[in-house]
Amino acid sequence: QVQLVESGGDLVQPGGSVRLSCAASGSIFRIYDMGWYRQAPGKQRELVAVITRSGITNYTDSAKGRFTISRDNAKNTVHLQMDSLKPEDTAVYYCNANVRLTVLLSRRDYWGRGTQVTVSS
């Protein structure tokens, strides 16, 4: 029904930058909040950043000032620009979207398969 495909994961040095992208496809009536989560080895998945359809953003404290989330509603895409990366940012990053498939159906969350970001010298 809905597919979220992430791209942009990479191996970068501390202080470097990475730009993640996520494209949603399928029979979609409307996408509401879109966000990025991450999961490091041995840890629970955590919210990194979220953006509403109108562009209001929210970040976890560790991402504030370093990461920027953006979206293109016409293309059903969301991006995460990550700067000043630290080793503790190493994780699999997952795209999330809250989607309504038709005007009659309830909204529900969809997830991508994840993209690996490794920050290491």
Q: Report how far residue 1's alpha carbon sits from residue 11's, in angstroms, rounded to the nearest whole number.
A: 32
Q: Report how far residue 87's alpha carbon sits from residue 107's, in angstroms, rounded to the nearest whole number.
A: 36
Confirm if 72 and 85 have CB atoms less than 8 A apart.
no
Identify the bridge partners of residue 121 per DSSP, sorted by sequence position: none
Q: Report how far residue 18's alpha carbon sits from residue 41's, in angstroms, rounded to the nearest whole number.
A: 20
What residues contact 56, with CB distance under 8 A and at least 6 apart? none
Model pLDDT, residue 1: 85
Cα distances (Å, whole numbers) of residue 12 to 9, 46, 121: 9, 21, 8
> Would you give per-residue pLDDT tens digits along the chain (121 residues)?
899 999 999 999 999 999 999 999 999 999 999 999 999 999 999 999 999 999 999 999 999 999 999 999 999 999 999 999 999 999 999 999 999 998 888 899 999 999 999 999 9
